Homo-oligomer: A and B are copies of this chain.
């Protein structure tokens, strides 16, 4: 069985926030925010990521690569170029990919004694946009 190329080339995550502190062993219990990106196709996906803020112009593009038939669980905490995402700050993100991908948003918040989790499929722009 060979899965087809699945997904969309444009995705958006309206909620973004990296909690400013953590509780528990790191790196796994470090408060973090992730975009999980699945590329089922046979071509490398080259992705431009833009970050939107409340009170300034967008940051980016951040250049992301996801190999053929690979998944990348990208931690926003790890982004460094062209800049770092500030912690404790509201943001949103948009992904423009050269190949169809599937993107899901997850946050682990360990600011209090037991961690909390959230996740949602990201918003995929309809084809033809």
Distance in Å: Cβ of A126 to nearest Cβ of chain B: 7
Chain B residues near A13 (CB, 8 Å)?
104
Chain B residues near A57 (CB, 8 Å)?
69
Per-residue B-contact encoding for A10-24, CB less than 8 Å = 1, 0 else: 101111110010001
Is A52 a contact of B40 with CB atoms below 8 Å? yes
Chain B residues near A72 (CB, 8 Å)?
54
Chain B residues near A6 (CB, 8 Å)?
10, 12, 94, 123, 125, 129
* Number of copies of chain A assembled together: 4
Interface size on A, residues (CB 8 A): 70
Smallest Cβ-Cβ distance to A90: which chain B residue: B73
A 60-110 contacts with B by CB, 8 A: 60-61, 69-73, 88, 90-92, 94, 96, 101-110
Is A120 a contact of B121 with CB atoms below 8 Å? yes
Distance in Å: Cβ of A51 to nearest Cβ of chain B: 9
Distance in Å: Cβ of A20 to nearest Cβ of chain B: 8
A 27-63 contacts with B by CB, 8 A: 28-29, 34, 36-38, 40, 48, 50, 52-55, 57-58, 60-61
